[in-house]
Amino acid sequence: MPPKTTAHKLAKDQKEISVAEFFEKNRQILGFDSPIKSIIMGVKEAVDNALDACEEAGILPDIIVKIDRIDQREYCISIEDNGPGIVSTSMPNVFGRLLYGSRFHAVRQSRGQQGIGISATIMYGQITTGKPATARSKVEGAEAAKEIDIIIDTKKNKPILLREEFIPWDDVSHGTRISFYMSGRYVTGRQSIYEYLRQTAIVNPHSSITFIDPSGKKYVFDRATNQLPPKTKEIKPHPDGLELGTLMNMTKATKERSLVKFLQNDFNRVSERVAKEICKAANLPQTTRLTSMTLESSKKLLDGISKVKIMAPQADCLSPIGDKLIRTGLKHVLDEVRPEFYAPPVTRDPKVHSGNPFLVEVGIVYGGGLPRDQQVQIYRFANRVPLLYQQGACVITKAIENTDWRRYGLEQRGGSGIPFGPAIILVHVASTKVPFTSEAKEAISSIPNIQEEIELALKACGRNLRTHLNKKERRNKTRAKFEIVQEIIPLMAEKTSGILGKPVPDLRGTITKIMNVIWIDDSVTYEKGRHRVKISIYNYTPKQQRFSIHTIIPGGSLNEKSCSLKPSNIKDEEKISWDLPRIASTEIYSLTYELNGLDADEYQDIELYISKINPIDVMGADPLPGDWDVESVNFIESEVVDLEEELDEEPDYDESGEDLDDE
């Protein structure tokens, strides 16, 4: 018998461990690395699962989060949703087995992908308190709900049911509730459960979230829209950015026999023509048998893919929030600080990282009650989930730090780093596979092409902010000029005329030459369930003006009979347009309308847009966005028409303001 060597002794001690046992001993990898974070992670995993389940079933989510304090260190956490429920036979594996789920292999956007979150939460609660979790679920049409008490056998990564029974749950038709005990520490502030749910409500405005804290105080984040996010469709991997090892694994796993069929049927956006081009660029026959692919031929194929222009992946595998809902969510949740400006959000076209499509969305909020002497607040999101921790390690933060915010009106000490000012910067990265720095999903890895996309979106949104600040500065200067012109010049004219013994001259021509702007003011009053809106247009230009004005109101609230001017177009019951009559130089035109059936705080800020005129000449309204689908004549064409008619209709003024046409 050969002698027992050190290698033999070491080999005897080697043994396999289950994934549950590994994470039990390394729970910090999952984010359970402090008492404060652990409670947040537990709530986060359950809420993410609830939102995913509701959206996949086409149900508007109603989620209730309740935390009860057991003692100084122990809490009972319950999360209930109105989702489709879980079939009774799947409940033990869903809640009691790590790496069990339906989304890991699907190439589409979802919050949960690894099948670790909720089972890891139950495992952590079991480790810290020794108590089982209780899960209850009811599917549509079922007479009763299935309820189980469950713990996890970490040695075998298997569920152990301590109790299972069917019980009445008459007040819900379908849904799931998970309750677990956890040792931790409940806090308030910027890294808290309240802040996580608040930010979740911003990027999920279709959800209704109720939170009951340990003191019994109830917070409700109401649903801001009934529009569900578009359902994501599963797609095949995109060849752009594919890595060599992944490609070799795909050639071994495919059911296709020939190279050209493999490219055509196992990849997204690869047609038969593109597949043949790739084979040609790789210098490989189209009929190459995949079983004969070697390392060298795989390298050739990867090189050939990089040489062929392949269409970007379709966006239906992703679920962007969208410009409108980003703004809706921000307005709905940030109402208490009443920001002065919401920069039009920017959504980039989809790009690819390692075969996985992704896109970036950015929104900026400025002014109002936001602090002016602190760093801007950064709201980071991945697949509609807030990222509260590891801000400094996240590619989103790095992209913000690398952007020169001084160009866009924010203070940036030293020319880099997080800017200072009264602003919130929101960045959302949506992907079929977000490259997190760890399984805790707290930060996104610094991938160069993701960072580049974020920086481009930040700059585009920053330009919108700079435009607003420039316009605000110009408006302030114009208002000062307006006050001087309206008050001081008439007084000067009156006193001068009195001294000279001459009549007070007509100052209209002088005023228009000094102002040379169209000034738009608006006001809203609320009385007896009715909003009365008045828009005043001051034409302080030397010629008559004719253009269109547009606004957005809550759908169906406009009382058309109350409009002083009949709308020229109403789109989706909320986008209202008026073609204004010609407004003579120095004339003031008033447009009024009423809204019915709204609460007092539902309509306080008026969004005004203009078209058929050079927006540089207008103060108080923005250029019409490109998504209105309203026939709009280019302002240059409009000016040509105005100029032709002006010769016949518009009075001219000499230097003293006298009407020359009258003479």
* 23-34: burial string, b at 16+ Cβ within 10 Å, e else: bbeebeebbbee
Q: Quick check: 214 pLDDT over 60?
A: yes
The phi and psi torsions of 135 (rounded to 5 degrees) equal -120, 135
On whether both 517 and 458 belong to a single domain, the answer is no
* Cα–Cα distance list, 481 to 477, 586, 655 (Å): 6, 15, 20
Is residue 491 assigned to a domain?
A: no
Report the SS3 class of residue 568.
Answer: coil
Whether residue 471 is predicted with pLDDT greater than 80 in this model: the reply is: no
Task: Tokens for 441, please give them.
Answer: 């999903």
The token pair that represents 511 in the structure block? 């005023």
Q: What would the DSSP string read from start to end of 500-539? A: HT-PPPP-HHHHHHHH-EEEEEEEEEEETTEEEEEEEEEE
Instruction: Specify the number of domains making up the chain.
Output: 4
pLDDT of residue 174: 92
SS3 609: strand
Percent over 70 (pLDDT), the chain? 86
Task: Average the pLDDT over 98-119 and give the result.
Answer: 55
Q: Are strands 548-552 and 622-623 parallel, antiparallel or unpaired?
A: unpaired
Of 320, 357, 359, the C-alpha closest to 237 is 357
Overall average pLDDT of the 258-270 stretch: 87
Does the pLDDT at position 315 exceed 90?
A: no
Q: Kindly report, residue by residue over 611-647, the tens digit of the pLDDT.
A: 999 888 888 888 887 656 554 444 333 444 444 444 4
Same domain, 215 and 257: no
Same domain, residue pair 60 and 116: yes
SS (H, E, C) 412-479: CHHHCCCCECCEEEEEEEEECCCCECCCCCCCECCCHHHHHHHHHHHHHHHHHHHHHHHHHHHHHHHH
Same domain, 437 and 512: no
* Of 10-19, 125-134, 137-146, 241-250, minimum mean pLDDT range: 10-19
Judge if 457 and 577 occupy the same domain. Answer: no
pLDDT category at 663 given cuts 50, 70, 90 is very low
pLDDT at 457 over 90: yes
Indicate if 192 and 43 belong to the same structural domain.
yes
The single-letter code of the amino acid at 500 is L
Amino acid sitting at position 30: L
- Percent of the chain exceeding pLDDT 90 equals 24
**Does residue 294 lie in a domain region?**
yes
Contact in structure between 452 and 397 (CB atoms under 8 Å): no
Domain identity same for 93 and 208: yes
Q: What is the pLDDT of residue 99?
A: 62
Asked if 598 contacts 557 with a C-beta cutoff of 8 angstroms, the reply is: yes
Mean pLDDT in residue range 500-510: 80
CA distances from 512 to 45, 203, 483, 515 (A): 62, 46, 14, 5
CA distances from 198 to 11, 193, 222, 334 (A): 52, 8, 11, 9
Domain boundary among 284, 307, 330: 307
CATH of the domain at 62: 3.30.565.10
Tokens 């021509």, residue? Answer: 509
Query: Which residues, including other chains, have CB under 8 Å from residue 148's CB and lie 6 or more apart?
Result: 91, 92, 95, 134, 135, 136, 161, 163, 164
Phi and psi torsions of 325, nearest 5°:
-75, -25
Contact partners, residue 115, CB within 8 Å, separation at least 6: 98, 99, 100, 101, 103, 104
∠ CA 491-496-497, nearest 5°, is 100
Whether residue 232 lies inside any domain: the answer is no
Tens-place pLDDT, residues 537-586:
988 888 899 999 999 888 788 999 999 999 999 888 888 999 999 999 88
Of the candidates 554, 556, 608, 602, the one whose C-alpha atom is nearest the C-alpha of residue 578 is 608
Residues 405, 408, 410, 413: is their CA dihedral positive or negative?
positive
- pLDDT at site 633: 40
> End-to-end CA distance of the chain, in Å?
128
Could you read off the pLDDT of 383-437 as tens digits, one per residue? 888 888 888 889 999 999 999 999 998 998 877 889 999 999 999 998 888 888 8
Sign of CA dihedral 318, 322, 328, 333: positive
**Which residues does 378 contact at the CB level (< 8 Å), separation at least 6?**
391, 396, 397, 400, 418, 424, 425, 427
Residue 335 has pLDDT above 80, yes or no: no
Let me know: does 607 contact 552? Beta carbons within 8 Å: yes
Domain membership of residue 145 (yes or no) is yes
Highest mean pLDDT among 117-131, 186-200, 495-509: 186-200
Q: Are residues 199 and 295 in the same domain?
A: no
Please check the confidence at residue 15 and state whether its pLDDT lies above 70.
no
Residue 475 belongs to a domain: no
Nearest CA-CA partner of 236 in 210, 256, 263: 263
Is 7 a domain residue? no
Which segment of 113-122, 204-213, 442-451 scores lowest on mean pLDDT?
Answer: 113-122
Domain assignment present for residue 497? The answer is no
**Residue 623 domain-assigned?**
yes
Same domain, 435 and 582: no
Q: What is the pLDDT of residue 501?
A: 86
**pLDDT over 50 (residue 534):** yes
- Are 171 and 211 members of one domain? yes
CA–CA gap between residue 295 and residue 292 (Å, rounded): 10
Cross-strand bridge partners of residue 356: 353
**450, 469, 488 - which closes a domain:** 469
Average confidence score pLDDT of the chain = 82
Cβ–Cβ under 8 Å, residues 282 and 300: yes
Number of continuous H segments (helices) and E segments (strands) in the chain: 16, 24
pTM: 0.70
Asked if 459 and 532 sit in the same domain, the reply is no
Cα–chain center distance at 413 = 28
Is the Cβ–Cβ distance between 85 and 137 less than 8 Å? yes
Q: Give me the CATH number covering residue 606.
A: 2.60.40.1170
Pair of tokens at residue 519: 């000034």
Q: List the single range of 350-354, 420-424, 462-466 with lowest mean pLDDT.
A: 350-354
The predicted pLDDT at position 657 comes to: 40
Tell me the per-residue pLDDT of 130-163, one tens digit each, with 9 for 90 and over: 889 999 999 998 889 999 998 888 777 788 899 9
- Asked if 191 and 40 touch (Cβ cutoff 8 Å), the reply is yes
Same domain for 260 and 356, yes or no, is no
The residue segments making up the domain with residue 95 are 19-221
Is 374 in contact with 443 (CB distance < 8 Å)?
no
- Please tell me the total number of residues recorded for the chain in this structure: 663
Higher-confidence position of 347 and 338: 347
- Quick one: tokens of 222? 């109401």
pLDDT of residue 62: 94
